[in-house]
Every structure is written in C-alpha cells, then in structure tokens.
Copies of this chain bind each other. A is one copy, B any other.
C-alpha cells in the first residue's frame, strides 16, 4: 500500500504506477518530500529517517536514496555521511547570499524592459492571489503567492537556467520563512509594493520597477536578518 495518510490530503504514488509514467518513482517521491518540506510538515533541522519513509511510501531503500540525492542537490536536504539526511537549517550567511542573488537576478531581469512584457498576466495573477490570501487570512498562501510573484519577475529574463536557479533559491527561501515566527507580519506589508511594481511594468518602465525592487529586497533582507538575530538571542 502506497498511500500517505497526512492530516489533509493523502498523496497516492500508485496512481500512475503501471501506467506509462512520465516520471520515475524517485522523482515522484522527491516531489512528495519537496512538497512536505515546503509546507513545513518536515521542519528545518529535522531528520528524515530512511526506514520510516520507506515504510510509509511503500518504496525500496534504493529508490528513496535516489530521491534524497535529488533533494540534496537542490539544497533542501543536507546529507551527513553515516548519519542521515536532514532538512536544511539555513544560517544568516545563507539568507544574505539568497538576497544578494535575488537582487542581482530579479533586477537584471526587470531593468531592460521598455514595453509591457509578455509575462505580465502571470504577475497579475500572483498579485491578486496574494491579495485574496491576505483577505482570507491564509498567511501560508500569501507567502506562496509572493514567491510566485517574484518567480514571475525573474522569468522575465527568459532564461531556462536562471528559472531553474531561482526555483531553487525560492525553495530555500521557504526554509527561511519556516523558522520565522510570524509569516503575516513579514509578508503582508509587501502587498502594496507588488502592485506598484506591476504598475511600473505596465507602462514599460523597467528601470523604475528595478529601483522599487532593489529597495523592496533590501528591506526584506534586513527584516529577515534581524529576525534571525533575535532567534539566536533566544537560543542563548
């Protein structure tokens, strides 16, 4: 039996086993784990025991180990030799690095724009999703929508490799958010700015959007670094 019984929705793996599955089992398992990590079901720092997951998902150890490899390379898991795999726990340095990259990539993608870009629709949808999530007080979804918005910004650069990079960057960022105490306080204040950036892009003002974005990202970084410092103070 290959059904995960979680609180909300079980994920069936056998659904397309036997049929012509487009993906391998290891990748499907990796998808499941990735989702669980993104949701915070496996919090940063926790260990993923082979035996448990093998039993729960009804797969072999070798297959699971391949999934672990995939996720380790995405920096979502850290693999310690002979000790096991753990959900990564990011340091302040990591946060700084993530934001350095976001500033570089997102601004570079937006700045050259001189006319309303093709990807604008996607951005609008993300912004509206964020507004709606905030109104319904679903803060987890607000964070997701916000990430989609910025992923859309990076995608304006139209580079598949950059898109890949940023997908990883944002997945790591989710790990940061999970150690943050109050997702509402963090995400809510940026809703207005998202609208402003879209407005700039709407009139083809890429440079203006990039400037807004740079300030935006500096603010967010500062807030996160402070939160991390507080957490460190609590720990001591």
Interface size on A, residues (CB 8 A): 25
- Contact residue among B22, B62, B101, B157 (Cβ-Cβ distance under 8 Å from A62): B62
Q: Looking at chain A's contact residues, is the secondary structure mostly helix, strand, loop, or mixed?
A: helix
Which of A23, A101, A161 has most chain B Cβ within 10 Å?
A161
Instruction: State which residues 139-166 of A face B: CB under 8 Å.
Output: 157, 159-162, 165
A81 within 8 Å of B (CB atoms)? yes
> With the chains together, A161 CA to B169 CA distance in Å?
9
A200 within 8 Å of B (CB atoms)? no
A115 within 8 Å of B (CB atoms)? no
Q: Nearest residue in B to A96 (C-beta to C-beta)?
A: B159
Which residues of the other chain, B, contact A159 by a CB distance below 8 angstroms? 97, 100-101
A120 within 8 Å of B (CB atoms)? no
A66 within 8 Å of B (CB atoms)? yes
Which residues of the other chain, B, contact A23 by a CB distance below 8 angstroms? 81
Q: Are A97 and B161 in contact (CB under 8 A)?
A: yes
Instruction: State which residues 99-133 of A face B: CB under 8 Å.
Output: 100-101, 104-105, 108
Which residues of the other chain, B, contact A73 by a CB distance below 8 angstroms? 70, 73
> With the chains together, A157 CA to B96 CA distance in Å?
13
> With the chains together, A105 CA to B105 CA distance in Å?
8
Which residues of the other chain, B, contact A22 by a CB distance below 8 angstroms? 81
Q: Nearest chain B CB to A167's CB is how many angstroms away? A: 12
Instruction: State which residues 1-50 of A face B: CB under 8 Å.
Output: 22-24, 26
User: B-contacting residues of A (Cβ < 8 Å)?
Assistant: 22-24, 26, 62, 65-66, 69-70, 73, 81, 97-98, 100-101, 104-105, 108, 157, 159-162, 165, 169
